[in-house]
Structure 1
Amino acid sequence: MTPIAYGDTARLGVLVPSGNSVAEIELRAMLPAEVAMLTTRLALRGSSEPELLAMLTDLDKAAELVGHAEPDAIAFHCTAVSTYAPHLAGEIRGRITAASGKPALATADGILAALKLLETRRVLLVTPYVQPVHEREIGYLQAQGVAVVGGSYLGVDTNTEMARIPPATIADQVRAAAKGVDADLCFISCTAIRSAGLIADLESELRMPVITSNQVMAWHALATMKVGARVPGFGQLFAR
């Protein structure tokens, strides 16, 4: 019989933006084979404020439906929405749990947990976002007591365009942003960009921890579900 990993150790439900073609692939790469990932989509393609907030319109029904598969936890996985305001991630978790009866987590939760574990106070923030989203994320981090001491944004609007950014372009953006900046950690934000494969090399080059949105979600979800197994090669966060 050909062995198939069905998720007998744990099952993670994930709610992703409808236009995102990267998050599931990177999460799957970073989750152990014995952890199943069950996904559904919420409408989001662009980066305007109305589009971001409209992603929450069908949140309750989507959480209910993925909850039918009996996951051990359900993750709302969008950085720009979960960091839109300091209170929003908590409201999202509450709605997911009320609709599904399952423990919930959001991308923002993983970011804050990673920053705390890595004892971060000064962040280099690199994003593909348009300026308002980038600046809103700076405000979110500062409201959590984390100073953004440098970084840059690319001005890309849609998830589809973000997915097309070559990893080499992201790496060059990080290197340019890091010049002359005294930071504790580099955060490459956005679930829709191909960044997970860059983590280890950039950590070695920059001599600081590097986290990404998909990496912190995989790590935080495993911790939430009390899964001890880790896939090697995705940075200091996983090693810790």
Structure 2
Amino acid sequence: MTDSLGPRLKVGVVVPATNTSMQPELEALRPVGVTNHTGRMLTADYSLVEGIDTLVDGYRESTRRAIETIVPCKPDTIVIGFSPEIYWDGPESHAPVLNSLKEAAGGLPVVMSPDAFDAALTLHRARRVAVITPYLAVGDDSVSRFFTDSGYDVVRVQGLGCSSPEKISHVSEAELRDAVREIDGPDVDAIVQVGTNVAMGRVAAAAEEWLGKPVVTNNTVLYWHALRQNGIPDRVRGFGSLLAEH
């Protein structure tokens, strides 16, 4: 017997309590026979103006606890919708954090943003990237340093200046279009957007049409990587070339 609604794949999704964008975006990406099962991290709406340290510290243990709420439904894989800890501590912290989360998941495969972005950018043969973040300057610097230390040439970074995690979901499509135009240029192979509370999937699809280059968004790349890693080849249109063509 298999799950009646998710016979092909059951995806566990961990999101912060303040995040209102990731769950609906991932539902829109879901192929027939695949189901998503969300566990929320119990977190406060910390100020990003005062720095990201408090946010990261508060999220570490709550991530593991959220995973523990998902495991009983027996998902096939778990997607982690929070990554500032990795960006903050650098690429060398990724393997220990990933192993820790796999342990919390009882050995289930765990999908995180660094691996998903790297897979997508490698597929697109993109080394020179422009990055959109939801953060203020201190967060922008951490993200830029992470991609640089991972072997990418970060041409430009555009922070959206959100004052708290909950406010990230308030960023409009018009603001995102402006950010794309601001950081694009002939010296950029691909545009990358980090932050799972930014609803940018449909904007990215439109932007690729007039830019003629990949626009890789956080929610789409995480779900794409989870699907492909688990043998789901379905093409999903409307959210960019990554899911529509690869």
Structure 2 length as normaliser, TM-score? 0.89
Give the Cα separation in 1 of the matches to 2:123 and 2:181. Answer: 24
Distance 1:53 1:197 in 2: 32
From the superposition, tell whether residues 41 and 82 of structure 1 become closer, same or farther in structure 2 (CA, over 3 Å): farther
Looking at structure 2, the residues matched to 204 and 183 of structure 1 have their Cα atoms a distance apart, in angstroms, of: 16
What's the Cα RMSD here?
1.8
Which of 60, 64, 69 aligns to 2:64? It is: 60
Return the alpha-carbon distance in structure 1 between the equivalents of residues 13 and 96 of structure 2: 17
Q: Distance in 2 between matches of 1:32 and 1:196?
A: 16
Offset at residue 81 of structure 1 (A) = 2.8
The residue aligned with 1:133 is: 139
1:36-91, Cα deviation, whole Å (9 max, x unpaired): 11111122533421212320113333222211110001111113233222133322
- Cα distance 1:33–1:88, how it changes in 2: closer, same or farther (>3 A)? farther
> Aligned to 2:91, what secondary structure does the other structure show?
coil
SS at match of 1:68: helix
User: Distance in 1 between the 2:230 and 2:186 partners?
Assistant: 36
- 1:70 is matched with which residue: 67, 74, 77? 74
Which residue of structure 2 aligns with residue 199 of structure 1? 204
Q: Matched residues in 2 for 1:72 and 1:181: separation?
A: 41
1:1-240 mapped onto 2 (5 Å cutoff) = 6-42=5-41, 43=43, 45-46=45-46, 47=48, 48-84=52-88, 85-101=90-106, 102-178=108-184, 180-238=185-243, 239-240=245-246
Deviates more, 1:79-88 or 1:125-134: 79-88
Q: For 2:119 and 2:44, locate their aligned partners in 1 and report how far apart those are by CA, in whole Å.
A: 25
For residues 83 and 6 of structure 1, the distance between their equivalents in structure 2, rounded to whole angstroms, comes to 35
Residue aligned with 1:139, SS: helix
Would the aligned equivalents of 1:73 and 1:105 in 2 still touch at CA under 8 Å?
A: yes
Cα-to-partner distance string for 1:165-224 (whole Å, 9 max, x where unaligned):
11111111111222x451100112211112111112101111111100001101011012
Whole-Å separation in 2 of the counterparts to 1:34 and 1:82: 32
CA distance in 2, matches of 1:97, 1:128: 27
In structure 2, how many angstroms separate the alpha carbons of the residues matched to 1:128 and 1:65?
28
Cα distance in 2 between the residues matched to 1:9 and 1:19:
30
Counterpart CA distance in 1 for 2:92 and 2:20 is 27
**Structure 1: gaps spanning 5 or more residues:** none
CA distance 1:113–1:34, change in 2 (3 Å): same
Cα distance 1:27–1:38, how it changes in 2: closer, same or farther (>3 A)?
A: same
- Name stretches of at least 5 consecutive residues in structure 2 with no aligned partner: none
- Residues 144 and 157 in structure 2, CA contact (< 8 A), matched pair in contact too: no
**1:11 to partner: Cα distance:** 0.4
| SS of structure 1 residue aligned to 2:67 | helix
Q: 1:49 to 1:185 in 2, by over 3 A?
A: same
- Are the aligned partners of 2:191 and 2:215 in contact in 1 as well (CA < 8 Å)? yes
